Amino acid sequence: MGTLDTDELWTKSELEDAIERDALADWKALRYETFHDTMTDENTPYPCYFAVEAERNGYFRYTFLGSPDDPNARSRLTDALVAYLGNYRTIGDITSLVILFEPPAREQSTETYKRQFWELLEDLWNRDPEPWPETVPTDPDHPMWRYCFAGEPMFLVARAPFYEARHSRYTPHGLEITIQPAGVFEGLSGMSDKGQRARSTIRDRLANYDEIQRHPDVGDYSDPRRHEWKQYLLPETNEESVARCPLPERS
């Protein structure tokens, strides 16, 4: 294949066109096609139907980066996220940024993926162009805390090869992070009827998709018994839980 590279965000149609023209690096085509197949598999429907519809309707934006440990990849992640957050409200009702990293040259340990994920989030903070939003607590242990960047609260979902029974978090070719601005969930809070119906449907589908029960740390935003950061990179087993957020309190 050719090696067309871009620092811009990709749309679904742009990726499909580049793949058709044989103009996308092999690993990028592999990562996108694997993601697409997971989201659109009709025989085994992915639990989050919002994600399924976003992929079908072209509401996702994608960026491809090198190793999570590469300083250049981290710098490009900052640029991609700033660009995405600058216009995500014009894309569609349910949109997310899908970050696909280059597959590692050799098998990595679970701990390596965990370290890379949290280091990426802290590195983003070191490059944050905006102050922390006044409406969001700075202490990760506060139930109303959310990860924020460029003034935008957001929810993150990490998928990686180390998941075996938790299929909804499994991807075979390296680290994947999906960033969902909190603004796309307006009207879908756990207190609203629409939000409660959506969560019920997703959890029913999750029970059929994973070979393990929903992790005890999964819950609704603002629930004093739950913390959002614990849901970003879930443990493989339900007996595991991270006691303290790897991220420091923002000043």
pLDDT of residue 29: 98
* Per-residue pLDDT tens digits of the chain, which is 251 residues long: 334 444 579 999 999 999 999 999 999 999 999 999 999 999 999 999 899 999 999 999 999 999 999 999 999 999 999 999 999 999 988 999 999 999 999 999 999 999 999 999 999 999 999 999 999 999 998 989 999 999 999 999 999 999 999 999 999 999 999 999 998 887 655 555 666 777 788 889 999 999 999 999 998 777 777 799 999 999 999 999 998 999 999 87
pLDDT digits over 83-116, tens only?
999 999 999 889 999 999 999 999 999 999 999 9
pLDDT of residue 194: 65
Six-digit token pair at 136? 């969001």
pLDDT of residue 191: 58
What does the angle CA 69 – CA 31 – CA 50 come to, to the nearest 5 degrees?
105
Number of neighbours of residue 178 by Cβ within 10 angstroms? 19
pLDDT of residue 1: 37
Residues 6+ apart with CB under 8 A from 40: 52, 55, 56
pLDDT of residue 108: 98
Name which of 166, 150, 174, 147 is nearest 232 in CA terms: 147
Side by side, which strands form the sheet with 97-101? 61-65, 97-101, 176-181, 152-159, 147-149
- Give, to the nearest 10 degrees, the angle between helix 26-40 and helix 12-20: 130
pLDDT of residue 3: 40
pLDDT digits over 220-243, tens only?
777 777 799 999 999 999 999 998
DSSP reduced 3-state for 231: helix
What does the angle CA 211 – CA 41 – CA 50 come to, to the nearest 5 degrees?
85
Cα–Cα distance measured from residue 157 to residue 246, given in angstroms and rounded to the nearest whole number: 16
Q: 133: which DSSP letter?
A: P
**Boundaries of every domain in the chain:** 12-232
HEC profile of 158-211: EEECCCCCCHHHECCCCCEEEEEEHHHHCCCCCCCHHHHHHHHHHHHHHHHHCC
